[in-house]
C-alpha cells in the first residue's frame, strides 16, 4: 500500500521530472529519493531548495509564507509561465483542485445568496478573504446592480486587500464591498453577517482549534445565518502525494486532512447544525454548510 502511494505521481510530476532531467538531474534524483524517504545529502538538498526558491514565483512565495493568498491567486489566475516549477504547480492535481474549489465555492455562494435575498438584505463576511476573489466574481456575475447584497472582506494581509480593492473596482462591484484589515478573530462587527465564508483557513489546523475558531465567528453570524467553511480531504494526499510532499518540503506546509464526518463534528461541537457538505470537482476539498444552533 505504502509502496503504491509512493509511486503515485500525476502527469504534472512526470513532466517536471522530464524537464529536470535535462536541466538539473541531481535535483530530480534528490526529489524522488527524498520523497521516497531516503536520507538526503545536505549539500544537494540545499542546492535543490535554492533552485526552487530562485526559479519559481510560486514556490518562493510559498516558502516565504505558506498560506499567503499569493499562492491561491497564482493558481486561480493560471497565467502562462516559463518556469518548469511554476508549471508543475499549475498543472498538478492539487494545484488544479484549488481553482476547482474556487468554482465550487462561487456556485454555492450564488445559490445561498439567492436564498437569503428573498428575505431582504444580505451581508456576507469573507473571513481570511485574501483579495476576496470569490465574492468579487459572484457579485460581478450576478449582483452588480443590486443594492441588497453587500460584503466585508477581512484579512490581515494589507497587500491582498489592496489587490482585492483593485479587482473589485475593475469588475465594478467596489461599491458593494468593504475591505477590513486585521485578524478576523478580533473583528467587532457593526452588523451581523447573514453568510460567512471561511475558505483556506482550517486546512492546517487541528480539530480543537477549528472548533474554537468556529465558536468565535458564530458570534458574528445572524441566528438564521449560514457558514460555508472548507478543509482539505484525505483524497488530496491519496491522489497527489507528491504535491503534498513538495509543500511540506518547501514550506513546512502540512495539512490536517478531514473527512466529512470530522468536519461535521467540528461544526456541531462549535454549535452549528450541519446542513450539507460538497466538494470541488477533484474531491480534494470538502466544503461544509451549516447554520448556528440556538
Ligand atoms: C490560503 S489564503 C485563502 C484566501 C481566500 N479565502 C481564498 O479562498 O482564496 C488564506 C488567507 O487567510 C488570511 N488569514 C489567515 N488567518 C487570518 C486571521 N486570523 N485574520 C485575518 N486573515 C487571516 C491570510 O492572510 C490569507 O490571505
For the domain that residue 145 is a member of, what is the CATH number? Answer: 3.40.50.150
Q: Are residues 153 and 213 in the same domain?
A: yes
230 lines ligand 1 (CB under 6 A): no
Q: And the C-alpha cell for 193?
A: 453577517
Q: Does 8 have pLDDT greater than 70?
A: yes
Q: Please report the pLDDT score of residue 2 as a whole number.
A: 47
Residue 186 pLDDT more than 90?
A: yes
Nearest C-alpha to atom 4 of ligand 1 is from which residue?
A: 130
Q: How many domains does the chain have?
A: 2
Check whether residue 17 and residue 80 sit in a common domain: yes
Using CA positions, which residue lies closest to atom 20 of ligand 1?
A: 183
CA distance 245 to 83: 20
Verify that 79 and 188 share a domain, yes or no.
no
- Please give the order of strands across the beta sheet that includes 193-198: 177-181, 149-155, 122-127, 193-198, 221-232, 285-292, 272-279
* pLDDT category of residue 5 using cuts at 50, 70 and 90: low
Judge if the beta carbon of residue 201 lies within 6 A of ligand 1.
yes
DSSP element (H, E) containing 274: strand 272-279
The reply to whether 65 and 126 lie within a common domain is no
Residue 4 confidence (pLDDT) above 80: no
Ligand 1 mutation pick, 72, 138, 201, 216, max ligand atoms within 8 A of CB:
201
Q: What distance in Å separates the CA atoms of residue 139 and residue 69, rounded to the nearest whole number?
A: 20
Q: Are residues 91 and 161 in the same domain?
A: no
Q: Is the CB of 103 under 6 A from ligand 1?
A: no
pTM given for the model: 0.95
Q: How far is the CA of 171 from the centre of ligand 1 (A)?
A: 22
Per-residue pLDDT of 98-136, as tens digits, reads: 999 999 999 999 999 999 998 889 999 999 999 999 999
* Same structural domain, 70 and 135: no
Is the model's pLDDT at 163 over the cut of 70?
yes
Residues 154 and 217 grouped into a single domain: yes
Phi/psi at 285 (5° precision): -125, 135
- What's the average model confidence in pLDDT over 143-169? 96
pLDDT digits (tens, 9 = 90+) for 205-250: 999 999 999 999 999 999 999 999 999 999 999 999 999 999 999 9
Domain end among 74, 95, 116: 95
**Is residue 89 located within the same domain as residue 112?**
no
**What mean pLDDT is predicted for residues 260-267?**
98
Asked whether residue 76 falls in the same domain as residue 202, the answer is: no
From residue 77, alpha-carbon distances to 10, 90, 95, 241 in Å are 21, 9, 11, 24
pLDDT at 3 over 80: no
Which pLDDT belongs to residue 219? Answer: 96
Whether 60 and 142 map to the same domain: the answer is no
Q: Domain boundary residue among 95, 116, 136?
A: 95
- Banded model confidence at residue 66, pLDDT cuts 50, 70, 90: confident
**Which pLDDT belongs to residue 118?**
85
Q: Is residue 280 a contact partner of residue 270, using CB atoms and an 8 Å limit?
A: no
* Domain-ending residue, one of 66, 95, 124: 95
Q: Which three cell numbers stand for residue 22?
A: 535535462
In terms of pLDDT, which residue wins out, 4 or 65?
65
Tell whether 90 and 110 lie within a shared domain: no
Residue nearest to atom 13 of ligand 1 (CA): 128
Q: What is the DSSP string of 58-116?
A: HHHHHHH-TT-HHHHHHHHH----S-HHHHHHHHSHHHHHHHHHHHHHHHHHHHHHHHH
Looking at the structure, do residues 143 and 171 belong to the same domain, yes or no?
A: yes
Range of the domain at 206: 97-292
Query: Given this model, what pLDDT does residue 6 score?
Result: 67
How much is the mean pLDDT over the chain?
A: 95
Residue closest via CA to ligand 1's atom 17 equals 128
DSSP string of 179-213?
EEES-GGG---SS-EEEEEE-SSSTTS-HHHHHHH
Amino acid at each position: 500500500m505504502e509502496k503504491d502511494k509512493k509511486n503515485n505521481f500525476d502527469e504534472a510530476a512526470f513532466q517536471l521530472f522530464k524537464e529536470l532531467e535535462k536541466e538539473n538531474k541531481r535535483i530530480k534524483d534528490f526529489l524522488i529519493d527524498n520523497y521516497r524517504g531516503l536520507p538526503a545529502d545536505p549539500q544537494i538538498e540545499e542546492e535543490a531548495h535554492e533552485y526552487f526558491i530562485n526559479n519559481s514565483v510560486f514556490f518562493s512565495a510559498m516558502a516565504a509564507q505558506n498560506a499567503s493568498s499569493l499562492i491561491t491567486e497564482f493558481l486561480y489566475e493560471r497565467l502562462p509561465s516559463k518556469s518548469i516549477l511554476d508549471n508543475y504547480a499549475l498543472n498538478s492535481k492539487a494545484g488544479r483542485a484549488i481553482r476547482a474549489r474556487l468554482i465550487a465555492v462561487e456556485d454555492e455562494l450564488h445559490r445561498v445568496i439567492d436564498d437569503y435575498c428573498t428575505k431582504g438584505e444580505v451581508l456576507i463576511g469573507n473571513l481570511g478573504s485574501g483579495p476576496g476573489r470569490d465574492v468579487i466574481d459572484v457579485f460581478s456575475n450576478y449582483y452588480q446592480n443590486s443594492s441588497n447584497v453587500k460584503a466585508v472582506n477581512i484579512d490581515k494581509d494589507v497587500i491582498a486587500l489592496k489587490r482585492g480593492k483593485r479587482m473589485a473596482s475593475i469588475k465594478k462591484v467596489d461599491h458593494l464591498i468593504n475591505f477590513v484589515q486585521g485578524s478576523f478573530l478580533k473583528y467587532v462587527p457593526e452588523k451581523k453577517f447573514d453568510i460567512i465564508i471561511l475558505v483556506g483557513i482550517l486546512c492546517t489546523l487541528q480539530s480543537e482549534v477549528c472548533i474554537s475558531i468556529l465558536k468565535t465567528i458564530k458570534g458574528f453570524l445572524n441566528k438564521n445565518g449560514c457558514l460555508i467553511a472548507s478543509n482539505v480531504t484525505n483524497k488530496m494526499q491519496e491522489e497527489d502525494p507528491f504535491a503534498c510532499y513538495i509543500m511540506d518540503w518547501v514550506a513546512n506546509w502540512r495539512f490536517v486532512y478531514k473527512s466529512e464526518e470530522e468536519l461535521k463534528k467540528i461544526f456541531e461541537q462549535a454549535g452549528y447544525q450541519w446542513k450539507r457538505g460538497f466538494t470541488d470537482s477533484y474531491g480534494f476539498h470538502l466544503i461544509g454548510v451549516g447554520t448556528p444552533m440556538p
